[in-house]
């Protein structure tokens, strides 16, 4: 198979040392989704190009492609997200976001929406624009929604009530029950106030740049956090490694 040179932009989700001086990178790219890329000599050199292939770097990448194998030809950083490295909560949440991207994004297919979601969330996290817990939940719910697991929160699945003051969310099939239909809820259904439901609808149905623009507090906030995480865990094949550490420090 012929070696071809491609260019794309990508976020470095993971880096591991490989052989004496190379690194193996997991990269979320705009055009090819999640790919695995070898960066020759990246372990030894400390220059601009190696920074552009470091963890959490978002970069213009020029890659040699042989089938599904990729090697870095050149890399030029667009945003290194330096501020994420200064704080244990930010590093841990960024690592969780990156792990989820590698689980939920397609391989060798365009993943522009997932990439934009990750970059927007990392930016707000780095700049302290929203609380880490809120960003975590918004990211979880939006990522599953754009990756083929869109919940149906338009109305009660039993009676079609659209705006219940109290509802129940089923994380296993992504549906809503209103308070009047509570008698048929299942054991793992989660209580959801009207405010928490409104927040979930906002995250699912708003345009990309608007999904972070709301506020929640008290029980509604707790219910929102819980529903977003339980929904994600239902669809991820196993509990993300980075989640338990993140929860231990949040």
Q: Which residues bind Zn ion (CB under 5 A)?
A: 156, 158-159, 161, 178, 181
**Cα distances (angstroms) measured from residue 179 to each of 47, 152, 182, 202, 223:** 59, 17, 5, 21, 15
Q: How far apart are CA 95 and CA 8, in angstroms?
A: 22
Q: Which is nearer to Zn ion, 108 or 159 (CB)?
A: 159
Q: How far apart are CA 155 and CA 176, in angstroms?
A: 7
Q: Which is nearer to Zn ion, 87 or 161 (CB)?
A: 161
Residue 213 DSSP class: -
**Cα distances (angstroms) measured from residue 8 to each of 54, 77, 135, 208:** 16, 12, 27, 21
- Least distance to Zn ion from the beta carbon of 141, Å? 22
Q: Which is nearer to Zn ion, 165 or 239 (CB)?
A: 165
Residue 220 DSSP class: H
Q: Which is nearer to Zn ion, 81 or 168 (CB)?
A: 168
- Least distance to Zn ion from the beta carbon of 231, Å? 20
- Least distance to Zn ion from the beta carbon of 187, Å? 18
Q: Residue 12 has which token pair?
A: 């470095």
Torsion of CA 151, 148, 117, 122, to 10 degrees: 80
- Least distance to Zn ion from the beta carbon of 166, Å? 11
Q: Which is nearer to Zn ion, 91 or 166 (CB)?
A: 166
The 10 Å CB-count burial string (b at 16+, else e) for 18-31 is eeeebbebbbbbbb
Q: Which is nearer to Zn ion, 35 or 178 (CB)?
A: 178
Do 55 and 134 meet the contact criterion of CB atoms below 8 Å apart?
no
- Least distance to Zn ion from the beta carbon of 174, Å? 16
- Least distance to Zn ion from the beta carbon of 184, Å? 9
């Amino acid at each position: 198979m012929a070696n071809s040179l491609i260019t794309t932009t990508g976020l470095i989700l993971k880096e591991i040392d490989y052989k004496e001086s190379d690194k193996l990178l997991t990269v979320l790219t705009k055009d090819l989704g999640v790919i695995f890329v070898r960066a020759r000599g990246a372990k030894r050199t400390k220059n601009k190009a190696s920074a552009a292939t470091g963890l959490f770097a978002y970069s213009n990448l020029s890659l040699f492609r042989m089938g599904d194998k990729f090697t870095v030809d050149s890399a030029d950083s667009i945003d290194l997200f330096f501020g994420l490295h200064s704080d244990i909560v930010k590093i841990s949440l960024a690592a969780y976001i990156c792990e989820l991207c590698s689980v939920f994004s397609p391989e060798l297919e365009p993943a522009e929406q997932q990439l934009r979601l990750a970059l927007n969330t990392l930016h707000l996290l780095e700049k302290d624009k929203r609380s880490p817990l809120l960003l975590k939940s918004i990211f979880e719910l939006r990522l599953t929604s754009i990756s083929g697991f869109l919940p149906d929160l338009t109305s009660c699945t039993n009676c079609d009530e659209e705006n219940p003051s109290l509802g129940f969310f089923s994380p296993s099939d992504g549906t809503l029950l209103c308070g009047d239909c509570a008698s048929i809820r299942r054991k793992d259904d989660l209580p959801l106030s009207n405010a928490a439901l409104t927040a979930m609808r906002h995250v699912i149905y708003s345009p990309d740049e608007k999904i972070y623009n709301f506020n929640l507090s008290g029980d509604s906030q707790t219910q929102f956090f819980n529903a977003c995480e339980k929904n994600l865990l239902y669809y991820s094949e196993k509990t993300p490694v980075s989640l338990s550490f993140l929860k231990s420090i949040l």
